[in-house]
């Protein structure tokens, strides 16, 4: 089913009892293409959940419009929007079996009853859908169990099955993996991607975890203080962050942000002419990804290694540039010790230059 989602100037303002206003979502305009899995990413309080609640019809917007395909759904109640919702806490019915949990919303759906008025036919159709959905989310052998007899990951798959059984036009997931341990989180996120691709349902996935968003989405919408910072493919947000906030939010260890002057076509780092640029003289912010430092015998800039840890195949080192610290990931076949004075030349693909007020400068 083709179903793109279009948000047009969507704004939600909350007014508290003492009349202070919070603009939770501020003039959000974005189109989510049909069949895509889109991540809503940002720190706590940036307006992700509010956006999802607006999409679900659980909040009414202060202004702006929401379209599912050509239909303006802004004022439609949740049950008329054709959405499937999955929250962080799975909210399964504890006294029902997995089978019953998936079947329940169908049994209670007025439109489903209208479509299948004969009770026997309805029962058969529900049975077919439950089994088919269970197959898609790989829980066929768990249908007779109660939720308490399932692991967290299995419970979350049941919640997803319940949400997609009604064949929603749009699937909305609010931090669906937060309650799972690290290993299960990775497994389940891959599972979500697989299920989403198998069903082709346009899906919006709220997360504060940049790695999660980078790994399974088609596009990421990065938000801060209710305002969209960037909408782009995951790789694009990493290699072309629109501003300092996006650059710092994506990547682990985080990007190093260095205040640097440019003088006479040279970027000055730690008092040295570290590399060339075509930008005009002035003060800039230079972001360098930790994996983008190369040890060299000349060029670049000098720094003193202050801390070293082994992280998988790499050394994670912190280095001191006259009291300012940055971090680098260096392949562990390099001999490098705390106290060493080394020279780093940045790889240009990992260098991002921003204006002093934090916006990306494209040509440099
Ligand atoms: P988290 O990751 O912590 O859930 P979030 O990005 O989902 O954060 P929202 O829950 O959308 O953020 O909240 C955005 C802003 O709106 C916050 O400042 C929050 O305090 C405020 N807010 C959210 N819901 C309400 C409400 N019902 N009444 C008043 N303010 C609210």
Phi, psi of 36 (to 5 degrees): -90, 155
- Looking at residue 364, its pLDDT comes to 56
Cα-to-centroid distance, 131 and ligand 1 (Å): 37
Mean pLDDT of 116-124: 91
Q: What is the pTM of this model?
A: 0.90
Confidence of residue 188 (pLDDT cuts 50, 70, 90): confident
- Looking at residue 182, its pLDDT comes to 82
Contact, 245 vs 358, CB < 8 A?
Answer: yes
Residue nearest to atom 15 of ligand 1 (CA): 24
For residue 266, what is the enclosing H or E element? strand 266-269
Residue nearest to atom 3 of ligand 1 (CA): 44
pLDDT digit string, tens, across residues 241-271:
999 999 999 999 999 999 999 999 999 998 9
Q: Is the pLDDT of residue 137 over 90?
A: no
Of the residues 12, 13, 49, which should be mutated to test ligand 1's pocket, given the most ligand atoms within 8 Å of the CB? 49
253 cis-preceded (ω within 30 degrees of 0): yes
% of the chain surpassing 70 pLDDT: 99
Residue nearest to atom 19 of ligand 1 (CA): 45
For 360, the token pair is 């990306």
Q: What is the mean pLDDT of the chain?
A: 92
In whole angstroms, give the CA distance from residue 4 to residue 252.
32
Residue written as tokens 């990493």?
238
- Looking at residue 1, its pLDDT comes to 67
Contact, 137 vs 161, CB < 8 A?
Answer: yes
pLDDT digit string, tens, across residues 271-324:
999 999 999 999 999 999 999 999 999 889 999 999 999 998 899 999 988 778
Of the residues 22, 173, 179, 206, which should be mutated to test ligand 1's pocket, given the most ligand atoms within 8 Å of the CB? 22
Please provide the distance, in angstroms rounded to a whole number, between the alpha carbons at the two ends of the chain.
44
pLDDT digit string, tens, across residues 83-112:
999 988 768 999 999 999 999 989 988 888
**Binding-site residues, ligand 1, Cβ < 6 A:** 14, 16, 22, 24, 42, 44-50, 208
% of the chain surpassing 90 pLDDT: 74
Residue nearest to atom 22 of ligand 1 (CA): 24
């Amino acid at each position: 089913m083709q179903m793109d989602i279009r948000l047009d100037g969507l704004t939600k303002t909350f007014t508290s009892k003492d009349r202070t206003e919070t603009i939770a979502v501020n003039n959000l305009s974005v189109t989510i293409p049909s069949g895509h899995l889109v991540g809503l990413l940002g720190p706590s309080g940036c307006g992700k959940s509010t956006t999802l609640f607006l999409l679900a019809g659980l909040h009414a917007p202060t202004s702006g419009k929401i379209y599912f395909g050509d239909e303006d759904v802004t004022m439609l109640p949740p049950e008329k929007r054709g959405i499937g919702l999955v929250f962080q806490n799975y909210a399964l019915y504890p006294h029902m079996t997995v089978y019953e949990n998936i079947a329940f919303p169908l049994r209670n759906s007025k439109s489903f009853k209208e479509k299948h008025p004969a009770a026997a036919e309805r029962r058969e159709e529900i049975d077919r859908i439950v089994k088919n959905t269970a197959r898609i989310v790989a829980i066929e052998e768990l249908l007779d169990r109660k939720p308490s007899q399932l692991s967290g990951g299995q419970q979350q798959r049941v919640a997803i099955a319940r949400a997609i059984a009604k064949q929603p036009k749009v699937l909305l997931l609010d931090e669906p993996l937060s309650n799972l341990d690290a290993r299960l989180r990775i497994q389940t996120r891959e599972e979500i991607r697989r299920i989403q691709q198998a069903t082709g349902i346009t899906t919006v996935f709220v997360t504060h975890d940049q790695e999660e968003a980078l790994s399974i989405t088609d596009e990421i919408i990065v938000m801060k203080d209710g305002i969209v910072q960037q909408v782009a493919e995951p790789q694009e947000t990493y290699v072309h962050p629109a501003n300092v906030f996006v650059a710092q939010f994506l990547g682990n260890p985080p990007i190093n942000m260095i205040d640097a002057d440019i003088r006479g076509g040279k970027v000055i780092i730690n008092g040295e002419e570290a590399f060339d640029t075509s930008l005009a003289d002035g003060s800039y912010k230079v972001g360098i990804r930790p994996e983008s430092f190369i040890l060299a015998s000349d060029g670049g800039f000098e720094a003193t290694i202050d801390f070293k840890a082994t992280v998988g195949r790499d050394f994670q080192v912190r280095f001191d540039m006259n009291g300012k610290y940055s971090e680098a990931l260096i392949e562990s076949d390099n001999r490098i010790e705390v106290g060493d004075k080394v020279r780093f030349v940045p790889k240009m693909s990992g260098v991002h230059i921003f204006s002093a007020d934090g916006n990306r400068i494209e040509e440099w």
